[in-house]
């Protein structure tokens, strides 16, 4: 596949680098999963951002990685309580550094059509709230959902059949194409060190896209690009972006 990708580039059949995706925004420069981080990712040339979502007790979809906020609250009694047990107002007392934990709706509004937004479903049984939030946003056509819980992806597609979806993997599956087909997903999110020619070829043969995560070394990013991956998710857009650009 690497040789095939190189030939395609020589013939002009691969006209651009892989999609450059900011992992939780630009986390080396701004607090991760905050509006400041996502906006900084755009400044650094990201084509897309990846983020994580949960839902509060009153059904508001919010952007944060951990089930229990990894943040400081002005109300001591709220510390160590899971997001699912907090109301949106209670969660509003938390800060990640100096930044509030944003709602998904606020992030989609702020980014508009400037970037694709990849939404990783972390919270349990929140697909309906996530899809409702996405559909209500003007930039919904540039939003996709994915999850380590492939059942969540199936449920999301059942709610909104037209939405783009993906499955996450931190292991090397014998048949990644089958995982895509079982979830009716488009994107195969694979941990970057486990991507090789065979995997890329298998996913492309299943008419899927390979997105590598989380790739922070320029040589690794260039190697993955030479294999023909479709997207690279990184913490260091300012390093990986130029590395990919140097290949064109």
pLDDT class of 78 with cuts at 50, 70, 90? very high
User: What total number of domains does the chain contain?
Assistant: 1
Residue 41 lies in a domain: yes
CATH code of the domain covering residue 137: 3.20.20.190
Residue 168 lies in a domain: yes
Please give the residue range of the domain that contains residue 42.
Answer: 2-51+115-245
Concatenate the DSSP letters of all residues of the chain into one string: -HHHHHHHHHTT-S-SPPEEEEETSSTTTS-TTSHHHHHHHHHTT-SEEEEEEEE-TTS-EEE-SSSS-SSEESSGGGTT--GGGS-HHHHTTEEETTEEPPBHHHHHHHHTTSSEEEEEE-STT-HHHHHHHHHHSTTGGGEEEEESSHHHHHHHHHHSTTSEEEEEESS--S-HHHHHHHHT-SEEEEEGGG--HHHHHHHHHTT-EEEEE----HHHHHHHHHHT-SEEEES-HHHHHHHHHTT-
pTM, two decimals, is: 0.94
Q: Above 50 in pLDDT, residue 3?
A: no
- For the stretch 128-184, pLDDT in tens is 999 999 999 987 789 999 999 999 999 999 999 999 999 999 999 999 999 999 999
Residue 147 lies in a domain: yes
């Amino acid at each position: 596949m690497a040789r095939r990708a190189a030939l395609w580039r020589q013939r002009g059949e691969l006209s651009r680098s892989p999609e450059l995706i900011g992992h939780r925004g630009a986390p080396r420069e701004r607090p991760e999963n905050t509006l400041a981080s996502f906006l900084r990712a755009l400044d650094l040339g990201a084509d897309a951002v990846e983020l994580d979502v949960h839902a509060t007790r009153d059904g508001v979809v919010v952007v944060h990685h951990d089930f229990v906020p990894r943040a400081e609250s002005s109300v001591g009694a709220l510390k160590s309580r899971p997001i699912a047990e907090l109301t949106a107002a209670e969660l509003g007392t938390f800060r990640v550094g100096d930044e509030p934990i944003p709602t998904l709706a606020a992030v989609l509004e702020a980014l508009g059509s400037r970037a694709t937004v990849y939404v990783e479903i972390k919270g349990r049984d929140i697909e309906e709230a996530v899809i409702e939030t996405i559909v209500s946003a003007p930039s919904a056509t540039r939003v996709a959902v994915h999850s380590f819980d492939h059942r969540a992806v199936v449920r999301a597609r059942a709610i909104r059949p037209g939405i783009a979806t993906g499955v996450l993997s931190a292991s090397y599956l014998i048949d990644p194409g089958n995982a895509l087909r079982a979830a009716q997903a488009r994107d195969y999110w694979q941990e970057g060190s486990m991507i090789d020619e065979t995997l890329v070829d298998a996913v492309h043969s299943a008419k899927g896209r390979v997105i590598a995560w989380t790739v922070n070394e320029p040589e690794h990013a260039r190697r993955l690009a030479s294999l023909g991956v479709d997207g690279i998710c990184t913490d260091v857009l300012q390093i990986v972006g130029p590395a990919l650009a140097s290949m064109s």
